């Protein structure tokens, strides 16, 4: 079973920041928080991951609470192309292990 809890769906206005929450209260010390997204009719796509420090790349920012029990993925200026299912996953980094996906959050970007 997935070790994370996410809201089933969220709406965000185009051009605004989309903040997607994730709870992972049972995360282990060596597990990272990963985010993937899946646009309709495509395979999942890696977005970002982090251990305990906040991370930013060209796609998004990841904010992890100090106790590591929750995190937030931030899309700073959401566009219609960001409409997708977003999966929050906890796993050990740099391993061949399978990814255990939950149901994710379906993000709708509204024009």
Partner 1 sequence: EAGVAQSPRYKIIEKRQSVAFWCNPISGHATLYWYQQILGQGPKLLIQFQNNGVVDDSQLPKDRFSAERLKGVDSTLKIQPAKLEDSAVYLCASRRKGIGVDNEQFFGPGTRLTVL
Footprint of partner 1 (CB under 8 A): 2, 41-46, 87, 93-94, 96, 98-104
> Least distance in Å: CB of 36 to partner 1?
9
> Least distance in Å: CB of 63 to partner 1?
19
Strand, coil or helix: what is 44? coil
What does the alpha-carbon distance between residue 57 and residue 65 come to, in Å, rounded to a whole number? 18
Please identify, using beta-carbon distances, which residue of 43 and 111 lies nearer to partner 1: 43
> Least distance in Å: CB of 16 to partner 1?
26
> Least distance in Å: CB of 99 to partner 1?
6
What does the alpha-carbon distance between residue 61 and residue 49 come to, in Å, rounded to a whole number? 9
Phi, psi at 35, each rounded to 5°: -125, 135
Contact 74, 59 (CB under 8 A): no
Spacing of C-alpha 96 from chain mean position: 20
């Amino acid at each position: 079973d997935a070790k994370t809890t996410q809201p089933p769906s969220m709406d965000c206005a185009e051009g605004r920041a989309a903040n997607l929450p994730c709870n992972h209260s049972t995360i282990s010390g060596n597990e990272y928080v990963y985010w993937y997204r899946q646009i309709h009719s495509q395979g999942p796509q890696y977005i970002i991951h982090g251990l305990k420090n906040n991370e930013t790349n060209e796609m998004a920012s990841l904010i992890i609470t100090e106790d590591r029990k929750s995190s937030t993925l931030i899309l700073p200026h959401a566009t219609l192309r960001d409409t997708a299912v977003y999966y929050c996953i906890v796993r050990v980094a740099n391993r061949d292990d399978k990814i255990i996906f939950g149901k994710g959050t379906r993000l709708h970007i509204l024009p």
